[in-house]
Chains A and B, each alone.
Chain A
């Protein structure tokens, strides 16, 4: 099944025409409604009239997370607050969140995009879909929820945590599909196996995203749960989950190209690279009202193909993500930057700013340990004092990162340094 055949299966010519028209309109909209963009375009010597179609896209300057930080919280919004019906936020690079806003129409387009991805995963109004993504500022929960309702399915908003309740809902309501991070589904799988619940389940599909995962992990989930597992991609800056998703053939993620224009660039030269070549994914929103972004650098590394898929869709497809072009980590679906840890430690001033982040996956759940060097000045011979310090560091880091780290105190100067540059992150998770 295809949710919106008119859009998802249009010829490449038609799609490019539509994208051209929408790009011209979006650029003009941004220029006239967002002062920051107007100044940026003026600085680059560009007027909306210079952008006549897709061929002029590369004339436009890039947008990065820094632009969102510099205009925190709502400087890139193109509409007055009265037209914003929802806010979401994700982590920024230095502790300040990246805030995004949606108009009523944005929410509807987002729901449409998630609906398309859910339809790719063979879901219909006959399905009962458990949404085990976090509900809140994170886009995962509400994004998937609105998509599920949009296709007329029964949404079960369990959010994250409380495994016992998750499993009870899954069994008792005959849940047929689940949306959550792949690592959380792995975790649930183990619990299901331990309790021998598999025969009671009606689960047949899963839609997993918000963190990188591998083909092997997909196979494992499919075999162990007797389901088909689908990939979903998105980021709050562009919309949230549903920017792209994969169909039953699992040959890349179909981009909802009529709303989000993808480019792949070389992170070094910023030149567009050919289809099939890995580079950084860049998106321009084509229909966004709340916070339209021009050439937003996602920092995600992937490649693209414009060939027609066996499923009949003609939309461009992204290959499996190969990592990031910056140092951002995705831990339990949450974006984490090492610089946030440094900022939080420096702000406290009771330890050195030397730290080591150790990311691991234990029982299929991401864990984050942060080793912090004890500062001789704040060293106490009372364990109680050191434990208080550990707790305080853990608390401050949790406030900054939005996930709970385990804090371990270590001796000064024990944290590794290589080639003069400190090693800040050890990621033991085996991915890609």
Chain B
């Protein structure tokens, strides 16, 4: 399936994460999962939330460069080698994975992938039973 991700540019400064979390709290936006990639100067905060479009609006209005992106989400199963099998199936459908992280859900978690063309990837993965 496809999920909407909200990504936010965060300056490497004290209190920034708290400020962003505060904005989301105020607007009653529920965070499903969160991933923070850091560089020496800034962080890239990526989240899957209850309402990505609303999160985008409120964060943009607060001055945070943000973006909504579609990610490919693939349900995992609890056995050794599951990630390999998913990646193996994916390797025939996409050229490159920019990043990935997990999205907890009832039952087994999803693995979410940033790929160039998530829609095509989704269709191909479906054919393979994912």
Q: Which residues of A contact B (CB under 8 A)?
A: 374-376, 379-384, 386-387, 408-414
Say whether A409 contacts B63, CB under 8 Å.
Answer: no
B94 part of interface (Cβ distance < 8 Å): no
Cα(A410)–Cα(B11), bound, Å? 6
17 contacts between A and B (CB under 8 A): A376-B65, A379-B65, A379-B66, A379-B67, A380-B67, A381-B46, A381-B67, A381-B114, A382-B99, A383-B39, A383-B44, A386-B42, A387-B39, A408-B42, A411-B65, A412-B65, A414-B11
Cα(A366)–Cα(B79), bound, Å? 57
Instruction: Please give me the residue from chain A that is nearest to B65 by CB atom.
Output: A379
- For chain B, residues 24 to 47, give those with C-beta under 8 angstroms from any C-beta of chain A: 37, 39, 41-42, 44, 46
Q: Say which size band chain B's interface belongs to.
A: 20 to 34
Complex contacts, A383 vs chain B, CB 8 Å: 37, 39, 44
Complex contacts, A375 vs chain B, CB 8 Å: 65
Instruction: Please give me the residue from chain A that is nearest to B66 by CB atom.
Output: A379
Complex contacts, A413 vs chain B, CB 8 Å: 63
Say whether A384 contacts B98, CB under 8 Å.
Answer: yes
Cα(A387)–Cα(B44), bound, Å? 12
Complex contacts, B101 vs chain A, CB 8 Å: none
Cα(A383)–Cα(B7), bound, Å? 11
Complex contacts, B126 vs chain A, CB 8 Å: none
Say whether A409 contacts B9, CB under 8 Å.
Answer: yes
CB distance from B101 to the nearest CB of A (A): 13
Say whether B41 contacts A379, CB under 8 Å.
Answer: no
B91 part of interface (Cβ distance < 8 Å): no
Complex contacts, A409 vs chain B, CB 8 Å: 9, 41-42
B63 touches which one: A382, A384, A387, A414 (CB < 8 A)? A414
CB distance from B120 to the nearest CB of A (A): 19
- For chain B, residues 50 to 65, give those with C-beta under 8 angstroms from any C-beta of chain A: 60, 63-65
Complex contacts, A380 vs chain B, CB 8 Å: 67
Complex contacts, B60 vs chain A, CB 8 Å: 376
Taking A382-B99, A383-B37 as given, write out 4 further A-B residue pairs in contact, using a Cβ cutoff of 8 Å, ordered by the A residue number: A379-B65, A381-B114, A387-B39, A411-B11
Cα(A382)–Cα(B9), bound, Å? 10
Cα(A380)–Cα(B67), bound, Å? 7
Complex contacts, B41 vs chain A, CB 8 Å: 408-409
Cα(A79)–Cα(B44), bound, Å? 59
B77 part of interface (Cβ distance < 8 Å): no
